[in-house]
Amino acid sequence: VTGTLRARSLQLARPEDVSLLQYGVLQFTQKLHEVYHSTTGKIKGACNSLQIYNLTLQILRRNALHVKEEEQQLQEIVEGLKQVEEEELKNRSSEINSQFKEVLLKQVTLESQVKNMEQTINSIEKSKLTSQPQHVSTLKSYVKQQNTTLQRLLEMLRRQQSQITQQDLQLSRLEEQIETNGSEQ
């Protein structure tokens, strides 16, 4: 039995079978070669796409950093401008307040001087009415002149007070605008 098995395994294959087998191996080799080249091309294409993607991603990162830096610079500029504007408003407000106080003080002083002058004039008129009638008319004209001057001064004070009130209103509006702009950002 072992001898027949050996004889069968030692038999040579037929030439048709060998040709068929060679043809199959040749086709397999060609297909394997095609698959190899096709896969190599696909891998190269994928690598190229990946490089392009990486370059695009780097450019986008740089652009994003640049935009972020510009935004930060703009915010710093806006904050600086806000501070300058607030400082100017505070200074202007202080200036207006001091002018207003000065005007009020002048008004009180003028009113006091007017009262003193009226009292002085009244006392002079009483004492001199009997003794010097001509001098009284001179004093009356002087008093009228002084009274006119004082009336002008009072009118100027009223105008200044009105202007200061308007400036205070404008200042309040500007402060509200600054607060509104600051809260929006």
- Number of folded domains that form the chain: 1
> Residue 161: which pLDDT band, with cuts at 50, 70 and 90?
confident
143 touches 128 (CB < 8 A): no
Q: With 60 as the cut, is the pLDDT of residue 8 above it?
A: no
CA separation for the pair 125, 38 (Å, rounded): 127
Q: With 90 as the cut, is the pLDDT of residue 30 above it?
A: yes
Q: Which domain holds residue 77?
A: 2-184
Closest CA to 153 of 111, 115, 102: 111
What pLDDT is recorded for position 133? 62
What pLDDT is recorded for position 129? 56
